[in-house]
Each structure stands twice: as structure tokens, then as C-alpha cells.
Amino acid sequence: MPHRVFYMARTPPDHRAVTLSVQPPEFADSWLESDDPAELRAQLAAADFIVTGAITAEQIALAERVRLIQMPGVGYERIDVAAAEARGIPVAITPEGTCAGVAEHTVMMMLALYKHLTEAHTALKQGEWLHNRLRPICLMLEGKRVGIVGLGRIGREVAARLRGWGVELVYCDLRRLPPEQEVALGVRYLPLDELLATADIVTLHVFLAEGSRHLIGARELALMKPSAVLINTARGEVVDEAALYAALAERRIQAAGLDVFAVEPVAAGHPLLALDNVLLTPHMATANRDAMIAKARACYENFQRVLRGAPPINVVRPYGVVAADAAAG
């Protein structure tokens, strides 16, 4: 009998098709089809493996057969890892696809903001030719200092992609890298306050935990240069959105690129939507076909490891507990 994989989210058919295009024959898929609690209970009870970004202790208690909970990404703050651990169920993340996708999106946001891409595109479609009007305000990445906050998997991928752009790379992390790794990555360590005060671009790549909630607030934004740009492709709550809105509205920093928000989807009346110096995307840094396939393959490979009696890879521990495969980012 095939091993049952429960995808614990309402998922459109085209999304399912991409995932199932790489499903090995020894697995059978099941998907959450409704908001009926009875359906969810039945699905959990029948699952051998669960793919989800959010599951509570009460839901984990219903999954009597489950052998692994797989997060199809890296941000596992909505999974009750402690409850799973208490039941002897490992929780694993999926860096495959995620890290490259977020890194590409991060660099794209930097370039789009520096080149005023959305402004130029919109104006041209409306019949305006902004060639000379944009010349005094567009910038190049070359020669700029980029500060990476959180040099885990994603932060390192961002650093790798920026090395060819002629930027100066500085970073801050809870754990400083050994000197030889800093040299290999082409990065230099700075304390957070110094990084914020001197960087032309600040990009955030930290997990959401109590220590990183509102890591960037009014005090931190006040340290940044008026010409600075902030990029957040990590988690919305890493930034105090009210403080960021004030800093942008008052032009105390130049611009921000945000792919994540404290509450998602973003409400139509959200204040940030009214600003002209923000670039906003709908949490789509890894929302691409290539990343979906990479993640699906990684999930199935981890399930196969468990079936062989091997330990799954990229297992995480509850937040605040150090784990070898759960570095920031």
C-alpha cells in the first residue's frame, strides 16, 4: 500500500500538478479540500507524512501514524516543534529551492528600487518618457555597501550573488563566522548598529523568533542613512511596520522592498500601500515552478530516508534551541 502524504493546505490544481510531477510511485497524495474540522481530523489520522507550514499541538496529537512533518520552506515558526518532539515526530525544513529563490528576489528588489523600475514601467505604459527625469535619481549597485542581517543559508546565497556586482559586503549574525569563511564569502562582520548606520542597502535574512520580532524598529531605522534602502524577504514581523511607515513617509530612509508582512494577505487599506517609495510583492520570493519542484523532490527524498530507517535531513528543534541544520536565514 502506498505511503500517504498529507498536504495540509488548500491548494489550487496547477500547484498540485507541479508537486505531483515528481512524486515517486510508493507515495499517495491527499490534500486538504475544505474547512471542515472533521475532514482535517480524518486526514491527519490517516497520514504517514505531513507537508505543512503550520500545525498545532492539538493537530499533531491527531496524527497517530505520522513519521515526519516536513515544512516546504525554512520558516517553521508556525509549527509546534516542541509538541512534535514530545511525540517523537521529527520536523524538517526544506532549504532546497527556497534559498536560491529568496536570494534572487532580494537582488531583484535592490536593482528595481535603485533603477526606479516600477516608476519607469508605469510611466512608459501611460505615454511618459522619463529618460532624463530618472537620470538624477537612479543608482548603481557598484561601489555600495550592502549589509546582510542574518548570514544563514539565505544570507550566504545573497552574498554569493552580489560578489560579482562590485559591492562591499558586510554582515551581522548571532554567531560570527570563522575568518576563513568570511574571506571565502567576501564578507566583513559589523555589529548591528554599525551596519545599520553605514550600509547603503540593508537586507534581512533572519528567522522569526522572540529575539528577532521587531528587530528593526524606530531606533534601528533612525540609525540608517537617509539614502538607505531596506529589503525584507524574511518575515514581516521582523520589522515594526508602523515605524517603517513613518520612516518612509517622512523620507528618513530612501525606500524599502518588502515581500513579507506582519499580516498576510495584506489588507487593501494598509498604509504601506499608499507610499511611492516602497516596492511590494505578495510573499512570492520562492513562488516559482523551479523552487516548487526542488522542494517537492527534497520532501520525497526525506520521506524515503525515513522509510529506509535513516534519519531525515534538515531537522529542526524548537525555537531558541540550537540545531546544527537550523542556522539563521
d(CA 297, CA 19): 8
Residue 238's CB is within 10 A of a number of other CB atoms, namely: 22
The catalytic residues are 235, 264, 283
Pair 150, 234: CB distance under 8 Å: yes
In the chain the first and final C-alpha atoms are separated, in Å, by 38
Lookup: cell for 258? 518588502
Alpha-carbon radius of gyration of the chain: 21
DSSP 143-212: T-EEEEE--SHHHHHHHHHHGGGTPEEEEE-SSPPPHHHHHHHTEEE--HHHHHHH-SEEEE----STTT
Lookup: cell for 5? 502524504
Closest CA to 95 of 54, 29, 152: 152
Amino acid at position 311, single letter: P
d(CA 230, CA 247): 11
Task: Compute the Cα dihedral for 319, 325, 328, 329 and give only its sign.
Answer: negative
Q: Which residues pair with 51 in a beta bridge?
A: 7, 70
The residue assigned the cell 549574525 is 173
d(CA 266, CA 199): 28
